[in-house]
């Protein structure tokens, strides 16, 4: 197959690089420009060399460096690249899987003065462009306005590199960027200090694991009395080796404070610190899932995961560690398992698809038959958002109402009975399967953060009855509740705090916070927690950074 078979041709093009140093950063900020990208020559050449050495297989890695900000203007300095391995790469794709993430963390440990400013990967042929999968990767993992994505084209000549960033919700190409040429004998640290001086920055903006990085996760107001009381102590504190060090710092700040409001806030902070758990301490990696799986349903050893932005599904066999791709015609809205083990998929075209119970071994041996049953739903008053399936009913949550539809399975397929519907008790509530904690075929629950109150409802007859309402502690009362599942310990809740996701466990009866899972700031930028789900047997699963974890 030649280039014409692919619909395009590749011609050797020599890219002219600037031979002088880029303009001083101070000139950029003074000019009022919105965004400037400066890429070190060694990083650009290294990515091109890596792509050129792999003409038949995509490569990838991370971009490390620093960023600078004045108001809404950004200067991003890409100082180096770090190549990472992938168990899932080929001629048209490169995925950041578990092996990639482990390599990234290992390399960043050796670079305490740098952090992730973007990702890069290669395309085997053609000019650089961002595919739909690349767009998903950027939106899912590069959430800061200064994050950049780089695509490098492999070839003997003209291995051009393109850069993209998010602007007003859209991915746009950075058409102009500067290349910082290397100087023989020029010390990198001295060059960086000159760089900062030109920017008018007195101290290096280095990302270190300071205690200050933990405080936002505890809901601490930067302008409140606690911030004033702790400032003198934290200013000389390099980093915390553990939660005991954080508690010690709180005690010192409390002793030094004469403000009773600050003392009360310190007491509350100490209680919250004792409830912190590192994400890695409460979950165990199970298998790579890919970067596009952002919602999921688990039962037994089977997980169906999907992306909210595409029609791609994946069936994961957790026991065998195998991911099987599944494509449906319309975009998936929700996926749920019925008690009999079948997974159901709700699509944007108002279709319900009942997936078969698949034999992974048979599929691996070459039998790829995949018989599904499908039925079209009646037209609903508002847009459908969520699906839960019991042994007798299909439950649907729409924007403003709920629907309960009896169904029957026969050799002819799925038969739906007339639907029963009604208004939701509050907006932004979630359907949550009972996970066998009630009767074996009990209907789902409703849960919501209703103005700072964690409220649950159960269906009684033909309406929802409130069963519990408990005020959420700070800062959770102000956060959006994204997903929820319940097990024997209680409620696992996934909140959104700004651009971060926060995973918490609350006691099922008292609704007291048992623990709050945190991750280092660099880890959260690269590996957001995208989904949580119970499996009906008391276990909870989470997805983060393209890896499936089990709690």
Q: Per-residue pLDDT tens for 432-451?
A: 987 655 555 678 999 999 99
Contact 141, 527 (CB under 8 A): yes
Q: How many whole angstroms separate alpha carbon 290 and alpha carbon 96?
A: 7
Q: How many whole angstroms separate alpha carbon 362 and alpha carbon 224?
A: 62
* Residue 499 dihedral angles phi and psi, to the nearest 5°: -100, 0
Q: How many whole angstroms separate alpha carbon 57 and alpha carbon 374?
A: 38
Q: How many whole angstroms separate alpha carbon 286 and alpha carbon 504?
A: 20
Rg (CA), the chain: 26
DSSP 546: T
Q: How many whole angstroms separate alpha carbon 158 and alpha carbon 176?
A: 17
Identify the pLDDT of residue 70.
Answer: 74
Positions of CATH 3.40.140.10 in the chain: 3-199
Identify the pLDDT of residue 137.
Answer: 81
Sheet strand arrangement including 500-507:
276-278, 513-518, 500-507, 490-497, 480-486
Positions of CATH 2.130.10.10 in the chain: 279-550
Residue 443, beta-bridge partner list: none
Q: Which residues in the chain land under pLDDT 50?
A: 1-23, 87-94, 97-100, 156-159, 201, 203-213, 233-241
Q: Which helix (H) or strand (E) holds 343?
A: strand 343-347
Q: How many whole angstroms separate alpha carbon 332 and alpha carbon 312?
A: 8
Identify the pLDDT of residue 23.
Answer: 45
Residue (of 314, 342, 536) closest to 444 by Cα position? 536
Identify the pLDDT of residue 135.
Answer: 85
Identify the pLDDT of residue 2.
Answer: 40
Identify the pLDDT of residue 375.
Answer: 93
Contact 155, 12 (CB under 8 A): yes
Q: How many whole angstroms separate alpha carbon 129 and alpha carbon 211?
A: 40
Task: Provide the 3-class DSSP secondary structure of residue 538.
Answer: coil
Q: How many whole angstroms separate alpha carbon 341 and alpha carbon 516?
A: 32
Q: Which pairing describes strands 312-317 and 322-327: parallel, antiparallel, or unpaired?
A: antiparallel
Please give the CATH topology (third level) of the domain spanning 279-550. Methylamine Dehydrogenase; Chain H (2.130.10)
Residue (of 543, 542, 540) closest to 487 by Cα position? 540
Q: Which helix (H) or strand (E) holds 486?
A: strand 480-486
Domain spanning 3-199 has what CATH number? 3.40.140.10
């Amino acid at each position: 197959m030649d280039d014409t078979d692919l619909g395009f041709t590749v011609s050797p093009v020599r890219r002219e690089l600037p031979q002088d140093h880029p303009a001083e950063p101070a000139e950029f900020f003074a000019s009022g420009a919105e965004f400037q990208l400066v890429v070190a020559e060694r990083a650009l050449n290294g990515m091109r060399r890596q792509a050129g050495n792999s003409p038949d297989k995509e490569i990838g890695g991370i971009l490390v460096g620093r960023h600078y900000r004045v108001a809404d203007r950004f200067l991003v300095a890409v100082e180096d690249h770090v190549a990472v391995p992938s168990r899932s790469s080929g001629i048209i794709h490169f995925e950041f899987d578990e092996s990639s993430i482990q390599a990234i963390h290992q390399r960043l440990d050796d670079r305490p003065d740098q952090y992730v400013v973007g990702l890069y990967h290669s395309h085997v042929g053609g000019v650089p462009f961002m595919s739909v999968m690349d767009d998903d990767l950027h939106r899912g993992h590069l959430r800061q306005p200064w994050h950049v994505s780089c695509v490098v084209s492999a070839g003997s000549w003209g291995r051009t590199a393109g850069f993209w960033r998010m602007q007003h919700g859209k991915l746009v190409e950075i058409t102009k960027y500067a290349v910082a040429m290397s100087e023989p004998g020029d010390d990198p640290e001295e060059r960086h200090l000159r760089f900062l001086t030109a920017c008018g920055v007195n101290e290096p903006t280095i990302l270190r694991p300071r205690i200050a990085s933990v405080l936002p996760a505890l809901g601490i107001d930067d302008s409140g009395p606690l911030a004033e009381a702790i400032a003198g102590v934290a200013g000389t504190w390099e980093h915390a080796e553990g939660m005991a060090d954080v508690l010690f710092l709180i005690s010192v700040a409390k002793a030094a404070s004469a403000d009773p409001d600050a003392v009360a806030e310190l007491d509350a902070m100490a209680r919250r610190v004792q409830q912190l758990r590192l994400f890695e301490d409460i979950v165990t990696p199970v298998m790579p899932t890919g970067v596009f799986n952002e919602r999921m349903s688990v039962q037994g050893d089977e997980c169906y995961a999907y992306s909210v932005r595409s029609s791609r599904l994946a069936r994961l066999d957790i026991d065998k560690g195998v991911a099987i791709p599944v494509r449906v015609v319309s975009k998936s809205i929700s996926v749920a398992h019925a008690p009999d083990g079948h997974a159901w998929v709700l699509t944007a075209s108002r279709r319900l698809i009942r997936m078969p119970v698949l034999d992974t071994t048979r599929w691996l041996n070459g039998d790829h038959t995949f018989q599904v049953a499908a039925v079209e739903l009646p037209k609903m008053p508002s847009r459908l958002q969520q699906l839960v399936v019991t042994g007798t009913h299909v439950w649907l949550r729409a924007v403003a109402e709920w629907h309960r539809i009896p169904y029957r399975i026969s050799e002819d397929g799925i038969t739906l009975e007339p639907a029963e519907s009604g208004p939701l008790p509050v907006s932004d509530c979630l359907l949550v399967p009972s996970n066998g904690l009630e009767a074996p075929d009990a209907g789902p629950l409703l849960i919501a953060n209703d103005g700072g109150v964690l409220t649950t409802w159960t269906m009684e007859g033909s309406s929802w009855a409130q069963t519990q309402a408990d005020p959420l502690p700070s800062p959770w009362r102000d956060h959006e509740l994204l997903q929820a599942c319940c097990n024997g310990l209680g409620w696992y809740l996934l909140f959104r705090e700004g651009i971060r996701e926060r995973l918490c466990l609350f006691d099922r009866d008292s609704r007291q916070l048992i623990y709050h899972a945190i991750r280092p700031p660099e880890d959260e930028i690269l590996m957001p927690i995208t989904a949580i789900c119970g499996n009906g047997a008391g276990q909870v699963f989470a997805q983060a950074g393209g890896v499936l974890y089990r709690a």
